[in-house]
Amino acid sequence: MSGYTLVLIFFILLLLRVPIGFAMGFACVGFILTNDIPFSVIPQVMMSLFENFPFLAIPFFALAGQLMNTGGIARRLFSFAHALVGHIPGALGHANIVASIIFAGMSGSAVADTAGVGPIEIKAMVDDGYDADFSAAVTAASSTIGPIIPPSIPFIIYGAMANVSVGALFLGGFIPGFIMGLALMVVVYFISRRRNYRTYKRSTLRQLWQAFLQASLPLFTPVIIMGGVIIGVATPTESAVLAVIYALILGLFIYKEATIKSVFQDIAQVARTIGMIGFLSCAAFLFGWILTYEKIPQQFGDFLMAISSNKYVILLIINILLLIVGCFMDTIAAMVVLIPVFLPTLKMYQIDMVHFGVILTLNLMIGLLTPPVGMCSFLVADIAKVPFEKVIKAEMPFIYILIVVLGIITYFPETVLFLPKLLLK
């Protein structure tokens, strides 16, 4: 069996609705059995993925985000965001986006953002007279900011696999994340003006201060996570552990909205999620190893070189490819499969690895909105009780603007590289 046959079998299994992790696993086992490769290669390659220390940060960031969800923190963040931007046309739409920007500094996951503050945001918007499909669309679109503004689970995976500083990736995501937020707010503004959605009075300084005080302790979480990384006293993994401890203190002892029982439920939920991510990542890593064994990444690089020697043309082709892949593959699986394929091409064209990490992640975040997979779209459709097709239609203006943002960060690398160069000299 050749590497291309492997890929063909994988896609056939996907069309037969075999779960993506099993589809990759079955295809890989078939390849190994038909090519006289020792069967012991399977566990060796799969487990080698987790020899990277940064991978330990993933369960801790996931747990910190889950604890924030159940500790009364999401509600306080949304109230603060409302006080901050409630006077702008499309008030609760803007509050939705601002809350997602803030929550992005805690969870590291778009799905966690959607599940955490999504129900609060959608209910508040619908109760205030916003269309349910629009409320769902804003929530799904704003959740894509989660893995761009640090912490970020996709950045950790990319950093470990591409041997890139996770701290540099975290810093590189700040400016693109805020650009995404502003772009989404522009769309919300014009749609809200056209539909005449409700606007609130500008909050007084006293009201802003009171809302800030209620949300001040959760707002300190990103400082804990990024402060140690920037100063150099903590790794991203150690910062993730500190975030979990801080979330426990807030939920159990300060706000007292979490209980020992709810904490164990959160741990169980995260364990299931991490188990799924772990299995998917292992299968995808083995799949990527076989592609590398068959020299498909080098062949892909040679193919691109035959098209153009201009790295910006190549980035355009890669962006188009990633947007298509994002429609069909889970984020983690797509990253683990594609990173080994792209690495030789990145080196060939001297594309900065931190810059590409943010480009790759944003592409796959857009994929969380687009059918047929569109995990965040499915989630908000379920929360808002709106047909999936209607949510996709409402999301289209947001998808278009996110593609524009993708173009900006692709062709203006300093939007990503400015902060890493400034703070990690």
Q: What is the pLDDT of residue 121?
A: 84
Amino acid identity for residue 186 in this structure: V
- C-alpha closest to that of 280 among 50, 116, 37: 50
Q: What is the pLDDT of residue 300?
A: 82
**What is the model's pTM?**
0.85
Three-state SS sequence of the chain:
CCHHHHHHHHHHHHHCCCCHHHHHHHHHHHHHHCCCCCCCHHHHHHHHHHHCHHHHHHHHHHHHHHHHHHCCHHHHHHHHHHHHHCCCCCHHHHHHHHHHHHHHHHHCCHHHHHHHHHHHHHHHHHHCCCCHHHHHHHHHHHHCCCCCCCCCHHHHHHHHHHCCCHHHHHHHHHHHHHHHHHHHHHHHHHHHHHHCCCCCCCCCHHHHHHHHHHHHHHHCHHHHHHHHHHHCCCCHHHHHHHHHHHHHHHHHHHCCCCCHHHHHHHHHHHHHHHHHHHHHHHHHHHHHHHHHHCCHHHHHHHHHHHHCCCHHHHHHHHHHHHHHHHCCCCHHHHHHHHHHHHHHHHHHCCCCHHHHHHHHHHHHHHHCCCCCCCHHHHHHHHHHCCCHHHHHHHHHHHHHHHHHHHHHHHHCCHHHHHHHHHHCC
Q: What is the pLDDT along the chain (425 residues), one digit of tens a residue?
A: 777 888 888 888 878 888 878 888 899 998 998 888 888 888 888 888 777 666 777 888 888 877 877 667 777 888 899 899 989 999 999 999 998 888 776 766 777 777 767 888 898 899 999 999 999 999 999 999 989 998 888 998 899 888 898 889 999 999 999 999 999 999 999 999 999 998 889 989 999 999 999 888 888 888 877 777 777 777 778 888 888 898 899 888 888 888 899 899 889 988 887 887 788 778 888 888 888 888 887 788 788 878 888 899 999 999 999 998 888 777 887 888 888 888 888 988 999 999 999 999 999 999 889 887 777 888 888 889 899 899 999 999 999 999 999 999 999 999 999 999 998 76
Q: Which two tokens stand for residue 352?
A: 């900065």
Q: What is the pLDDT of residue 207?
A: 92
Q: What is the pLDDT of residue 425?
A: 65
Give the torsion sign (CA, 371, 374, 377, 383): positive
Q: What is the pLDDT of residue 53?
A: 67
